[in-house]
Amino acid sequence: MIRIKRVYDKPSSRDGIRILVDRIWPRGCTKEQTRLDAWRKELAPSTALRTWFGHDPEKWMEFRTRYRKELNRPEQNRAIEDLARLAQTQTVTLLYGASDTEHNQAVVLKELIDSAKGRI
């Protein structure tokens, strides 16, 4: 199972494996507070894409397209497939720092991981 959650929300035993998918460390969080199992910067949007998007909901559809294009590389594809395999046996929670719970990279990553589950 793949879940998504703000990194600022309190960790839960239901989170399973907690993976941060932001390129930069979330402001005001300590490593102890986040209780991360992994930080997958290579799955985060590029700095240029993140800056362009600025979490503007009107840019959401274009962000999704551009982000998917960034993730369509062998290294990222392998990482997504690895997470899909992991999610078949354990809960994986993708953590993000954005305040918008509907328009962030973890939403797109979850979609890609869920679709990869059907291919592996």
pLDDT single digits (tens) 5-50: 999 999 999 999 999 999 999 999 998 889 999 999 999 999 999 9
Residue 55 CA from chain centroid, whole number: 15
**Which residues 6+ apart lie within 8 Å of 26 measured at CB?**
7, 8, 20, 34, 97
Q: Looking at residue 38, what is its pLDDT?
A: 96
pLDDT band, residue 119 (cuts 50/70/90): confident
In the numeric block, which tokens belong to residue 9? 């929300």
pLDDT single digits (tens) 74-110: 999 999 999 999 999 999 999 999 999 999 999 999 9
pLDDT single digits (tens) 66-75: 999 999 999 9
Q: Looking at residue 74, what is its pLDDT?
A: 94
Q: Looking at residue 88, what is its pLDDT?
A: 94
